[in-house]
Chain A
Amino acid sequence: MEQTVPADHTGNLGDSRRRFRPGKFLAPYLLSLPAGLWLLILFLIPLVVMLSLSLQTCNPATGACVMTWHWAEFGQQLSLYHTQFITSIWFAGAATLICLVVSFPISYWIAFYGGRRKNFFLLMLLVPFFVSFVIRTVVWEFILSDQGIVLGALKNAGLLPQSFHILATGWAVIAGLAYNYLPFTALPLYVAIERIDKRVLDAAYDLYATKREAFLRVILPLTIPGIFAAFLLTFIPALGDYVNQQILGGTGDTMIGTVIQNSFLTTLDYPGGSALSTVLLAVALLGIFGYARILGSRTIEEYL
């Protein structure tokens, strides 16, 4: 009796605590409540509204919309604008590739050789991006203009033909996208490279790996999750971008973001714009799920 009392006592105490303190059960839910509300209000509800709108039939003059379950909207919009989708995928893909190629050495150098100044170098990488997105793009428009400070000087020196121009081409759009989304590539890459234990490199060299082999067979595989995270973070926003094409592009290179913008703001075709947005979102989600399947969702989460 005497011996069991304390044991019982403590045991009961523990049980009763677990049983009578609902806060303990609720804590995780309460803690995730802000995030949950955020997702609900700013993601889920707008998403359902968008999906709903894409199936309605609207009168653009009065704004009156009626739910007609008009699934054909998707087919109609896609048949009208599939080329703009393909252009967007091509531009965003090319820009992402450029971002990866450009930022890998930068991130690698900062992570491996940045030393005590790592944070300073990272800040230097980010400083241009403290300026508004649109202003940066407009400045490029100014710098790259046909008779501007770069092309004008080269043309006057006879190094370029007078008719040469960069603006109003698809290449200008790709370059603008690559420039504007660079930090979204560089930072996840940096995180991935920074995590690599430098001793594995020494181990590789001890096992007679050349520098090239050490990079290809040790560094690169270890950074692959970071590369994928960088790809997603760059490709998806670039896919829906509508600023770069409008400022830097020419004729016939319209991206789907511009089409959606025109649907909402110029022709007031809300169902059409919503349908295109839904398709764009579906493309992005497919990409994410595809990578999650290939890599496992946990590895992606770590770097996003």
Chain B
Amino acid sequence: MNEQDGHGPEQREDHADPSLWRGLTQPRLSRRQMLTTTGAGAAAAFLAACGVKGTAAPAGTSAPAGGVGTAAWWSKQQLHHKVNFANWPLYIDVLNGKHPTLEHFTQTTGIQVNYTEPISDNVAFYAKIRPSLAAKQYTGFDIIVMTDNTPNALGYLMQNGWLIPLDQSMMTNFRKYASKLVTTFPWDPGNKYTMAWQSGFTAIGYNSSVIKNPPSSVDILFDKKYAGKIGMMSDLQELGSVGLLSLGIDPATSSESDWAKAAKKLQQQKSDGLVRAYYDQSYIGHLKNGDTVVSQAWSGDIFQANVSSSKYADLKLMVPEQGMMFWTDNMCIPLYAQNPKDAMMLMDYYYDPQAQSVLEYYNDYVSPVPSAQQAMLHPTGWAASALKALHPEIGLPTSLVANAPTVFPTATYLKQARNYFPFKSQEELAAWNKLFLPITQGT
């Protein structure tokens, strides 16, 4: 993108008077301090100084320095009996204002969980914790949950070496129960940095009262019959990936020339007037009220619409023959976390089929633990009472959730699941954005 990328502060001094650089950057003023101490200082110096601080890291996934995350480092860590967990809103079981799974975890381990929901957007949250990490400070969170289709959030965290490599010896439940879907990510081989929280599919939703028995193909998004009634996603990863799928290309192993072909096809789709609009989460409202008849769709939304009202029974999820995207929100431990060992305990706890069954009964996303299906159908112990207590709140029989392919995917779903392209550098991401951004926000 530019010549400054990927250079450390030492290299940067080549571009400016070294004494000026030391004077301006060595004390590493925080952005806030900078704002309050700028009264003196000439305008030019101020303009030059009020940048956002941070240390550059080389591109590509890199481990944090100082042996953080090695077996030796982990052996020195101790339990602090507390953990700060940052998650997305409405993403955990709730009963009477409490979280049954977290309560059970605290009862069995003695670890207090400070559960907060500050994440409503990957990139915005990354931008929020980035200054702390750049300043080598604790972000305030021991576990954060980031989506794998956000190369400029989770991708950057890994490229910068800002995640603590997990303690593989503490992943007992994970190794025993985790689905193959979440142990084979091309962007995190061997689950060195992440463990899945929940997943979902980005497939195609359609209104079966208008479109009767369509062939299972992505081509429906490019069908002139539905011109102006097709909803596409504004998210560049989702948009680009479905473009690649429509060309029969697996996004995970695609090349830049494939991207260009996909962008061309999507541009054509837009200029032909097929696309109604590029939507964020609001796509589901438009699909429900008939503004669109077919749309890129997240599996959980269609399931929720179906069970929420008979009005939306016509909405169906299609699993295209070309494949559908499989996204995952991943738990990870940001660098400088103060309670990493407690974090590991909590992360692995959710791979216990019983805990997972309670969580999933509430969440209805794709579970990373297939055996939670049996745990939900034939609950025992504390999970049985927790599921029973949750039942009036949720109002659905456990068997309905347990048998939903969008919660416990069937073989067809598993076969069609595709991963996103694993971006390894900013240059790759810039190339992707340059191709697909003009589609959503250009003319």
Binding site for B on A (CB under 8 A): 45, 48-49, 51-53, 55-68, 83-84, 87, 141-142, 145-148, 163, 165, 167-168, 246-247, 249-254, 258-259, 262, 265-268, 270
Contact = CB atoms under 8 A, between A and B. Distances in A.
Interface of B: 1-6, 12, 15-16, 35, 38, 43, 46-57, 121, 123-124, 126-127, 130-131, 134, 152, 156, 159-160, 228, 236, 270, 275-278, 280, 282, 285-286, 289-291, 426, 433, 437, 440-443
Contacts of B437: 262, 267
Given A52-B47, A251-B278, A266 B5 contact: no
A62 B12 contact: no
Nearest to B426: A61
Nearest to A258: B441
Contacts of B285: 141
Given A52-B46, A63-B127, A165-B228, 20 more contacts: A48-B46, A48-B47, A52-B50, A57-B3, A57-B4, A60-B1, A61-B57, A62-B134, A64-B54, A64-B56, A65-B52, A68-B15, A145-B290, A163-B228, A247-B282, A250-B275, A252-B442, A254-B440, A266-B236, A267-B433
B291 A146 contact: yes
A146 B292 CA distance: 9
B441 A59 contact: no
A267 B121 contact: no
B441 A52 contact: no
Given A145-B289, A148-B289, A250 B50 contact: no
A59 B400 CA distance: 48
Contacts of A146: 289-291
A247 B280 CA distance: 10
Contact of B290 (A57, A147, A163): A147
A266 B56 CA distance: 20
A254 B439 CA distance: 11
Contacts of A66: 4, 12, 15-16, 51
B289 A265 contact: no
A62 B277 contact: no
Contacts of A252: 270, 442-443
Contacts of B55: 62, 64
Given A59-B6, A249-B277, A67 B48 contact: yes
Contacts of A64: 51-56, 134
A82 to B, nearest CB: 10
B257 to A, nearest CB: 22
A60 B50 contact: no
A52 B51 contact: yes
Nearest to B12: A66
A246 B440 CA distance: 11
A165 B276 CA distance: 10
Nearest to A147: B290
Contacts of A147: 289-291
A239 B382 CA distance: 58
Contacts of A270: 52
A55 B50 CA distance: 11
A241 to B, nearest CB: 15
Nearest to B157: A61
| 10 A-B pairs closest in CB distance | A64-B54, A65-B51, A67-B48, A147-B290, A61-B156, A52-B47, A63-B54, A62-B54, A254-B441, A57-B4
A49 B50 contact: yes
Nearest to A271: B2
A34 B285 CA distance: 46
Contacts of A58: 4, 51-52
Contacts of B5: 59
Contacts of A68: 4, 15
Nearest to B153: A268
Contacts of A57: 2-4
A71 B285 CA distance: 43
Contacts of B228: 163, 165, 168
Contacts of B426: 59-61
Contacts of B275: 250-251
Most chain A CB atoms below 10 A, which of B1, B426, B443: B443
Contacts of A251: 270, 275-278
Contacts of B156: 60-62
Contact of A62 (B160, B236, B280, B433): B160
B277 A168 contact: yes
Nearest to B51: A65
Contacts of A246: 280
B397 to A, nearest CB: 32
A145 B333 CA distance: 44
A68 B134 CA distance: 20
Contacts of A253: 443
Contacts of B159: 61
Contacts of B433: 267
B327 to A, nearest CB: 17
B50 A167 contact: no
Contacts of B46: 48, 52
